[in-house]
Amino acid sequence: MASHTSKAFLSLGRINVSGVGLQKSLSRATYATGVSTHTGGGNKGHPDRGGQRQGFIKKQRRTSGEPRTAKMAVDQDWMSVYPTATPFRPSAVPLPVRMGYPMKGGVPPEKMGNLELMKIPNFLHLTPVAIRKHCEALKSFCTEWPSALDTDAQCDEHFPVKVESTDYLSAAPSLRNPSARVVHLRVKLSSLNLDDHARKKMLNLVGERYCKDTDILTITAERCPLRKQNHEYAMYLLTVLYHESWKTEAWEAEKTVADMEDYSWEESPSQKNILSMLIRMKVAGEGEEEEVREQLLGRKEVQEYKNSVVRLRNEGESESTILQYKEAVKKVLNL
Amino acid sequence: MALQRLSFRLRQTVTHVRSLHTSGCGQQQAAEAVESEPEPLSVFRTRENDPACHSEQHMGQYYTLPSTHIRTLFPHGLPGRYQQQLKTFNEACMMVRKPSLEVISYLKKTDFSKPSLRYLFYGLNGTGKTMSLCHTVHYCYTQGWLVLHVPDAHIWMKNCKELMPSSYNDTRFDQPLQASEWLRNFRITNEPFLSKIKTKQRYVWTKRESTEEGSLLGQLVDQGISRVKTSSDVVGAVLKELRLQSGQPESDFRMAVAVDGVNGLWGRSTIKKKDKSPVESDELTLVYNLKKLLTKDWTGGAIITTLSQTGSLYTSKFDYLPQELLGERGFDSMDPFLPVSVPNYSEKEFESCYLYWLDRQWLQHPLSRTEEGKKEIIFLCNRNPSLMDRVCASL
């Protein structure tokens, strides 16, 4: 504790005074003028008891100037206002934005002091101009795209296997994100060398991972902790699938009609029906059964009928397939 | 109730001219008809009551079925709401529509020495498949064919109160109630044939009862109706006889097999055996024998069928295409068949139906006679015949 003797009003250096309000005022006085002026500022430590505000003089507050928006030119450089991702500053954004729920008879609240606008993410730092400038700056670090790969088809031809993984950035204590280990491997089956049996077996093996419309097989690997491991696992899976689908096992001979992917007309009940019907109708001449069968099968109407049935079964029913079937039946049965 | 109001109104109806030989509603009608005979018929009616003579120009018009025909031919074939309409209007008017005209034209061209062809009416719910079937069956009847009409194959696959093991084959089950009812209706429809056709085989029912070879079919049918226990087997015997005899050179009858709701024959059934396992369709005698009739083994007739989603079990409400309702087995059995689509009413047909309702004073609401009202009816029912019937019933 400083001795009271140092109360001497000397403007030499700073005097460490503690606690007593009077001395505080003194200390201020030493900074400012060197003469102690017993202003009412001393009341800071001693608020008046009993709440008499008569003599309470507010501390000096600087009045705020006009907002920055008032001084903005129309063709200003916006990047200097919002160079990075920053929360919404109503005084810096010259747009008359309103946000919030309009209470009874009112409108959404204005932007000044609007917490909702501040909470949401904004992309004011990513205007097209800004992005263009970023790209220009990054260009010097990029290598050129190979000129030979100018169409999608070319890319597919030279690089049929596409591997996709995602990197994550966030401002958080840790840099790591567990979702970054996921690897998607996409390949078009048409670019693989598969014959008919191999293709069917492959489709059976992969099941849901194949998309019929785009002919793309997608293998997603996420069971290993690192991206590199997942990538290698996905490549391994692709290799194994390819080689396994080319092999034919002994038990594959037990494949039944219900397992077949496509409807095949040969040896189907439909073929038997139509042949027996035509034989009964004695459409073809008399002869050996085999010959008659061959002859009937070779007929144009029967071929049309076969096409319509195959279409009906494979493509599913719709008005057009049913009509086609009807026409074919009419022709075959000579109606 | 609408019915009472309507019958009251009918007495005071001033209708357009109608043919004299239709079932009349009273002396007033005849009087009207006599004095306005030379006037042309209204747009929606046709005088041509013989289905054989219906053609493209009659499309969309109503023709009247004679009541005698109704009683013999359709003891069990018509849709429920249509039967109520018959009673209300006291006349049976059916619209001539494209699907049935198409099938009738094929029937006219059939070569009876070739195996019988199968025709299938398909379409959304309530578009008139059963009515088209009835129209075609009426044609067959007027041509003197033997009509084997199964009104709804679904009733043989569900709600069976009495299920007995078959006496003929242990693995199968009988349904005596349904079988005897069907035999009764069959007898009503085909009276003239029953005394003409003779059985070719001997059938032994019990130790004491048997039907000898060469006896009349009528006797066989009577046997089935009186001895309800054996009725399912009698049905099987009848179907077998008809199948063997039809198309033979010595028989002079043609057979029309009409099955409504044919998709039920290959569907699942809700009938359960004693150990709660469901019964397969092939284990029911009636269904088994009927399926034999639907094959193409026999000649001299035609098979006309419809699909029906309304009575079918375990099918989605929106299924209506043949393959969806028939299933794989059904499609393979019916293949090759001719699918005939039955669509909603066209504009002309809708007009026709609307004018008919107006004519019969069925539309009581004053606004229903205006253009606005008509547009509203079109909007509500999308020209679907059964929906239109229900919508207009409350007007």
Residues B296, A274: contact at Cβ < 8 Å?
no
For residue A285, what pLDDT is reported? 58
Least confident of A8-22, A288-302, B14-28, B236-250: B14-28
The yes-or-no verdict on residue A264 having pLDDT over 70 is yes
Least CB–CB distance from A329: residue in B109, B337, B341: B337
Rounded CA-CA distance B363/B16 in Å is 16
CB A332 to CB B336 under 8 A?
yes
The answer to whether the CB atoms of A335 and B296 lie below 8 A apart is no
Q: CB of B80 within 8 Å of any CB in chain A?
A: no
CA distance A225 to A179: 10
Looking at beta carbons, which residues of chain B come within 8 Å of A333?
A: 117, 336, 338
Selected residues 342-361 of chain B with any CB under 8 Å from a CB in chain A: none
Question: Which ipTM did the prediction report?
Answer: 0.76
Name the pTM for this structure. 0.68
pLDDT computed for residue A56 by the predictor: 66
A6 or B379: which carries more pLDDT confidence?
B379
Would you state the pLDDT for residue A163?
A: 96
Chain-wide mean pLDDT for chain A? Answer: 81
Chain B residues near residue A304 by CB distance under 8 angstroms: none
User: Is residue A217 very low, low, confident or very high in pLDDT (cuts 50, 70, 90)?
Assistant: very high
- How high is the mean pLDDT in each 10-residue block of chain B (395 residues)? 49 42 38 39 75 82 85 84 86 86 87 84 88 89 87 83 78 85 88 83 78 83 84 86 80 85 84 82 86 83 87 81 83 85 88 86 84 88 87 83
Residue A104: pLDDT over 70? yes
pLDDT bin (cut points 50, 70, 90) of residue A23 is very low
| Mean pLDDT across A225-247 | 96
